[in-house]
Structure 1
Amino acid sequence: MGAQYVSLLQIVAPVFVVMAVGYAIRKLGILSAEADRSLIRTTVTVLAPSLALDTIIGNEALRSPANWLIPPLAGVGTVALGILVARIFSKGLPGTNPRVRKTFVFTTSVQNYAYIPLPLCLVLFGKETVGVLFALVLGVELSFWSIALWQLTRGTEARSWRQTINPQVVAIPSAMLLNAIGAEHWIPAAIDSTFHLLGVCAVPLGLLMSGALVADHINFSALKKGSRTILLATVARVVTLPVLILAITALVPFDPNLKAILVLQAAMPAAIFPIVVTKVHDGDVPTALQVVLGTSLIGLFAIPLWIGFGLHWVRGY
């Protein structure tokens, strides 16, 4: 078990190191805040969709009609379960400020579902499983911009279904359709190579930008004052949710690729991007920082532990 943990830690650590590089180059002024908008838009509108097209088209695991529907529903399920657990633990927060409770539920409920799991999935399982991961990401994306964001804004903002539509939500079903009709046999090799070259840029740039966002919003005094919030978020996101997700995954006869992905999702800390969304939608930013940074710091050591345990429990590795 010890050797397996060290091996998994060596796979996980570079992901956090790249994020740390993003943090450092922001603090050193190499990556300016002015560049953020264009780089994030490039990642979201070009690089990430290209990665989805590259990994989904020609993916045998996504030939099965079951994998067109079940992984997205599983993605919705992880967020819904996260909201339920976060709402229970939010009752232990100090004070009665509704903005604090809404922000806690919003940030705790959504795992880091893409930029950390993607490189881990590639190393541990390969391209076929990454394609199924994107199908799950579709469900998480839809849930993030609907039911999760509603937890933050309910009673203060009108919501529109159009806000759930983004390039990923369009690219993933499009790629699944192209895969279903055998597009890999008639798409020119030059275009396929273009998808690949653009796609491999998505994860490192996304991780660098995540580190830069942390550098922009980190507040050490808020972290020091939020020990109770960090503890509750950790017990909810890093302990309770992994146990529940892994138990469900072990009991339900999911496709083996989906089981592998759910193990990764169970092991993830809170997503980083909700810090920005919290700020835009007038949530409590210190609470978001406490949840996201607290679970992420602990996640560096918890992720390999949960992956090792989860694969053994769920898949018998």
Structure 2
Amino acid sequence: MNELSFTASMLAVLPIYAIIASGSFARKVGWIAPAGDSTLMKVAVELTLPCFILYNLLENDKLRSVSFSISTIVLGMAITAISIFVSWIGGKILRLKVGDGLRTFVVTAGVQNYGFFIIALVAILMPNSEFTGLVLTFNVGCDLIFWSVGFLMISNAKKMSFDFLKKGPVWAVFLGLFLMWTGLDKYIGDSVKIFLKLMGGVAIPVNLMLFGTLIVDMLDLKKIAWKIVLAGTTLRMLILPAMLVLSLTFLPLSNPLKMLILMQSLAPSGVMSAVLAKHFGGHPHISVQITIATCAISLITLPLWLNLGLKIIN
């Protein structure tokens, strides 16, 4: 992918926000009622997303290498862990403490929307590319850290939870990699691949719309923590991207892995932090405010970091 103009980069992001906005609109007018969230979420995450993942992993020649696949997962783990650590330092500088938003701040600012935002962005910028499969493999590493360290921190739990390993998307990645590593993917018929393509095509828009409904449910404009939101946005969209983009100049990695790092530097905060904060008695309003602020500012920062990173890689 070559350098993109500022306008082209911004236009590439707009469809993502349009789908999120459509989910918010559907919630407000009652088309997506809260009572149906559980059912819709199960269909989106446990059915359509595994199909999307398998379709994009199969016949991805780069992932036939076991060492390359594992390196991609480890890279996801490293970036997520480092980002959480840097955000913890930021929270301490703000003098936040456990009980007044420290845990929510650290996980929200530290964990990017490595899921549907990046997947959707890659689908727009690099359609029909093998790169989507690399992103999905990379995301396994992000999941390993988020659902262990991140979960432990934001929930104040006494032990780590690896229940996410039972989820369809994670098993889909492991199954896809197994098929690629063993060469069994060559025996999967075209009819199966067509099914996976059609079913998986629903995954991104449905999950982005659910993201939009969560924003409506959790956003409280009357209690904006301006100082915390500004700090979280600065960390997520300026400091952490700067660290990741500058690392491209000296890390001895292949261009595909460098591109993975670049794409992760572009993403705003992920909404799952707000979901966990709400469920475990954290500060979900802080998380939602930071997430929305980072989404808004990404319209400006994304084209800048993207083009700077592409110049370094190329």
Q: Please indicate the TM-score interval, normalised by the length of the shorter structure.
A: over 0.9
CA distance in structure 1 between the partners assigned to 2:196 and 2:65 by the alignment? 23
Shift of residue 44, structure 1, vs aligned partner: 1.2
Shift of residue 243, structure 1, vs aligned partner: 1.1
CA distance in structure 1 between the partners assigned to 2:220 and 2:283 by the alignment? 13
CA distance in structure 1 between the partners assigned to 2:210 and 2:240 by the alignment? 26
Aligned length: 312
Gaps of 5+ in 2: none
CA distance in structure 2 between the partners assigned to 1:186 and 1:39 by the alignment? 32
Equivalent residue, structure 2, for 1:150: 152
Shift of residue 123, structure 1, vs aligned partner: 2.8
CA contact (8 A) 2:218 2:285 kept: no
Q: Which amino acid aligns with 1:242?
A: P
Equivalent residue, structure 1, for 2:284: 285
Residue 106 in 1 paired to residue 103 in 2? no
Equivalent residue, structure 2, for 1:228: 227
CA distance in structure 1 between the partners assigned to 2:85 and 2:251 by the alignment? 20
Q: Which amino acid aligns with 2:10?
A: L
Any idea what the Cα deviations from partners look like across 1:276-317, whole Å, max 9, x if unmatched?
Answer: 11111111122212221221221222222211221112x12x
Equivalent residue, structure 2, for 1:129: 131
Shift of residue 3, structure 1, vs aligned partner: 7.1
Scaled by the length of structure 2, the TM-score of the pair is 0.93
CA distance in structure 1 between the partners assigned to 2:285 and 2:52 by the alignment? 33
Question: Cα–Cα, structure 1 residues 294 and 92, in superposed 2: closer, same or farther, change >3 Å?
Answer: farther
Q: Which amino acid aligns with 1:45?
A: E
Q: Which amino acid aligns with 1:299?
A: S
Gaps of 5+ in 1: none
Any idea what the Cα deviations from partners look like across 1:24-74, whole Å, max 9, x if unmatched?
Answer: 111111111112111111111111111110000110121223321111111
Equivalent residue, structure 1, for 2:44: 43
Equivalent residue, structure 1, for 2:64: 63
* 1:290-305 aligned within 5 A: 290-305=289-304
CA distance in structure 2 between the partners assigned to 1:191 and 1:164 by the alignment? 25
Shift of residue 163, structure 1, vs aligned partner: 4.9
Question: Cα–Cα, structure 1 residues 58 and 276, in superposed 2: closer, same or farther, change >3 Å?
Answer: same
Q: Which amino acid aligns with 1:83?
A: I
Q: What percentage of aligned pairs have identical amino acids?
A: 24
Scaled by the length of structure 1, the TM-score of the pair is 0.92
Residue 161 in 1 paired to residue 145 in 2? no
CA distance in structure 2 between the partners assigned to 1:230 and 1:273 by the alignment? 17
Q: Which amino acid aligns with 1:123?
A: I
CA contact (8 A) 2:80 2:145 kept: yes
Any idea what the Cα deviations from partners look like across 1:66-92, whole Å, max 9, x if unmatched?
Answer: 321111111111211111111111024
CA contact (8 A) 2:164 2:170 kept: no
Any idea what the Cα deviations from partners look like across 1:103-149, whole Å, max 9, x if unmatched?
Answer: 11111111000111112212323431111111101111111110111
Equivalent residue, structure 1, for 2:260: 261
CA distance in structure 2 between the partners assigned to 1:61 and 1:267 by the alignment? 23
Q: Which amino acid aligns with 2:242?
A: V
CA contact (8 A) 2:151 2:161 kept: no
Equivalent residue, structure 1, for 2:29: 28
Equivalent residue, structure 1, for 2:178: 177
Q: CA RMSD, aligned part only?
A: 1.9
Q: Which deviates more from structure 2 when the two are superposed, residues 250-259 or residues 131-140?
A: 250-259
Shift of residue 97, structure 1, vs aligned partner: 4.8
Q: Secondary structure at the match of 2:116?
A: coil
CA contact (8 A) 1:52 1:171 kept: yes
CA distance in structure 1 between the partners assigned to 2:133 and 2:213 by the alignment? 28
Equivalent residue, structure 1, for 2:82: 81
Shift of residue 99, structure 1, vs aligned partner: 4.5
Equivalent residue, structure 2, for 1:141: 143
Q: Which amino acid aligns with 1:31?
A: I
Q: Which amino acid aligns with 2:83?
A: G
CA contact (8 A) 2:23 2:213 kept: yes
CA distance in structure 2 between the partners assigned to 1:271 and 1:143 by the alignment? 14
Question: Cα–Cα, structure 1 residues 284 and 14, in superposed 2: closer, same or farther, change >3 Å?
Answer: same
Shift of residue 192, structure 1, vs aligned partner: 1.2
Q: Secondary structure at the match of 1:178?
A: helix
CA distance in structure 2 between the partners assigned to 1:3 and 1:141 by the alignment? 30
CA distance in structure 1 between the partners assigned to 2:78 and 2:166 by the alignment? 19
Residue 271 in 1 paired to residue 273 in 2? no
Equivalent residue, structure 2, for 1:251: 250
Q: Which deviates more from structure 2 when the two are superposed, residues 194-203 or residues 158-167?
A: 158-167
